[in-house]
Structure 1
Amino acid sequence: MNKKFNKYTVQSWFRNIRGICRQLIIPFAIFQGIRTVLFPTTLDVLLLAIFILIALGFHYEWF
Protein backbone atom coordinates (compact mmCIF):
# COMPACT_ATOMS: atom_id res chain seq x y z
CA MET A 1 0.00 0.00 0.00
CA ASN A 2 1.39 3.35 -0.99
CA LYS A 3 0.56 6.35 1.14
CA LYS A 4 0.53 9.76 -0.41
CA PHE A 5 2.84 12.21 1.35
CA ASN A 6 1.35 15.60 2.16
CA LYS A 7 3.91 18.16 3.32
CA TYR A 8 1.22 20.08 5.20
CA THR A 9 0.40 17.19 7.51
CA VAL A 10 3.55 17.00 9.60
CA GLN A 11 3.79 16.27 13.28
CA SER A 12 3.16 19.12 15.69
CA TRP A 13 6.61 19.00 17.31
CA PHE A 14 8.24 19.40 13.89
CA ARG A 15 6.01 22.37 13.10
CA ASN A 16 6.96 23.95 16.44
CA ILE A 17 10.69 23.50 15.81
CA ARG A 18 10.36 24.90 12.29
CA GLY A 19 8.46 27.94 13.64
CA ILE A 20 11.11 28.60 16.28
CA CYS A 21 13.89 28.35 13.68
CA ARG A 22 11.95 30.69 11.41
CA GLN A 23 11.78 33.32 14.17
CA LEU A 24 15.43 33.02 15.21
CA ILE A 25 17.23 32.85 11.86
CA ILE A 26 17.04 36.61 11.13
CA PRO A 27 18.59 37.71 14.47
CA PHE A 28 21.32 35.07 14.05
CA ALA A 29 22.03 36.29 10.52
CA ILE A 30 22.21 39.93 11.65
CA PHE A 31 24.56 39.04 14.50
CA GLN A 32 26.73 36.97 12.18
CA GLY A 33 26.78 39.80 9.63
CA ILE A 34 28.04 42.24 12.26
CA ARG A 35 30.62 39.71 13.41
CA THR A 36 31.75 39.12 9.82
CA VAL A 37 32.22 42.84 9.23
CA LEU A 38 34.28 43.23 12.42
CA PHE A 39 36.31 40.00 12.33
CA PRO A 40 36.17 38.47 8.84
CA THR A 41 37.30 34.87 8.75
CA THR A 42 36.47 32.10 6.33
CA LEU A 43 34.25 30.34 8.86
CA ASP A 44 32.30 33.55 9.57
CA VAL A 45 31.65 34.16 5.87
CA LEU A 46 30.52 30.56 5.32
CA LEU A 47 28.25 30.66 8.37
CA LEU A 48 26.72 33.94 7.21
CA ALA A 49 26.07 32.46 3.76
CA ILE A 50 24.39 29.42 5.33
CA PHE A 51 22.21 31.63 7.55
CA ILE A 52 21.19 33.76 4.55
CA LEU A 53 20.28 30.66 2.53
CA ILE A 54 18.21 29.28 5.41
CA ALA A 55 16.44 32.64 5.82
CA LEU A 56 15.67 32.74 2.08
CA GLY A 57 14.42 29.17 2.28
CA PHE A 58 11.98 30.08 5.03
CA HIS A 59 10.90 33.25 3.24
CA TYR A 60 10.20 31.51 -0.08
CA GLU A 61 8.84 28.38 1.72
CA TRP A 62 11.40 25.97 0.31
CA PHE A 63 11.34 24.12 3.68
Structure 2
Amino acid sequence: MRRRFKHYSYPPWLRQTRAVCVQFIIPITIFQGIRTILLPTTFDVILLAIFILLAVSLHLEWL
Protein backbone atom coordinates (compact mmCIF):
# COMPACT_ATOMS: atom_id res chain seq x y z
CA MET A 1 0.00 0.00 0.00
CA ARG A 2 1.33 3.40 -0.93
CA ARG A 3 1.87 5.80 1.90
CA ARG A 4 0.46 9.30 1.43
CA PHE A 5 2.53 12.22 2.61
CA LYS A 6 0.83 14.98 4.50
CA HIS A 7 2.01 18.40 3.41
CA TYR A 8 1.38 19.75 6.90
CA SER A 9 4.09 17.49 8.31
CA TYR A 10 6.74 19.34 6.25
CA PRO A 11 8.81 22.06 7.92
CA PRO A 12 7.47 25.58 7.38
CA TRP A 13 10.41 26.63 5.17
CA LEU A 14 9.80 23.67 2.84
CA ARG A 15 6.08 24.45 2.57
CA GLN A 16 6.91 28.08 1.75
CA THR A 17 9.45 27.02 -0.89
CA ARG A 18 6.92 24.68 -2.48
CA ALA A 19 4.28 27.43 -2.54
CA VAL A 20 6.68 29.79 -4.31
CA CYS A 21 7.61 27.09 -6.84
CA VAL A 22 3.94 26.44 -7.60
CA GLN A 23 3.44 30.13 -8.39
CA PHE A 24 6.46 30.48 -10.67
CA ILE A 25 6.61 27.16 -12.55
CA ILE A 26 3.78 27.92 -15.02
CA PRO A 27 5.18 31.27 -16.29
CA ILE A 28 8.67 29.77 -16.54
CA THR A 29 7.27 26.80 -18.48
CA ILE A 30 5.38 29.07 -20.87
CA PHE A 31 8.48 31.19 -21.45
CA GLN A 32 10.57 28.06 -22.08
CA GLY A 33 7.90 26.75 -24.48
CA ILE A 34 8.01 29.96 -26.51
CA ARG A 35 11.79 29.89 -26.52
CA THR A 36 11.78 26.25 -27.65
CA ILE A 37 9.41 27.04 -30.51
CA LEU A 38 11.57 29.95 -31.70
CA LEU A 39 15.06 28.44 -31.27
CA PRO A 40 14.81 24.70 -30.62
CA THR A 41 17.91 23.02 -29.30
CA THR A 42 18.28 19.69 -27.56
CA PHE A 43 18.88 21.41 -24.23
CA ASP A 44 15.75 23.56 -24.60
CA VAL A 45 13.55 20.56 -25.38
CA ILE A 46 14.91 18.59 -22.41
CA LEU A 47 14.52 21.61 -20.10
CA LEU A 48 10.93 22.14 -21.31
CA ALA A 49 10.13 18.48 -20.61
CA ILE A 50 11.56 18.80 -17.09
CA PHE A 51 9.53 21.96 -16.45
CA ILE A 52 6.34 20.31 -17.71
CA LEU A 53 6.88 17.26 -15.51
CA LEU A 54 7.62 19.49 -12.52
CA ALA A 55 4.50 21.60 -13.15
CA VAL A 56 2.30 18.51 -13.43
CA SER A 57 3.79 16.93 -10.32
CA LEU A 58 3.30 20.12 -8.30
CA HIS A 59 -0.26 20.55 -9.58
CA LEU A 60 -1.18 16.96 -8.74
CA GLU A 61 0.70 17.23 -5.41
CA TRP A 62 3.11 14.42 -6.13
CA LEU A 63 5.91 16.55 -4.65
4+ residue runs of structure 1 moved beyond 6 angstroms? Answer: none
Q: TM-score normalized by structure 2? A: 0.87
In structure 2, the gaps of 5 or more residues are none
Answer with 1 or 2: which has the greater Rg: 1
Cα distance in 1 for partners of 2:26, 2:19 equals 12
Greater displacement, 5-14 / 40-49: 5-14
Q: Specify every segment of 5 or more residues in structure 1 that has no aligned partner in the other structure, as ranges.
A: none
Higher helix share: 2
Tell me the TM-score normalised to structure 1 length. 0.87
Q: What is the root-mean-square deviation of aligned Cα atoms in Å?
A: 1.4
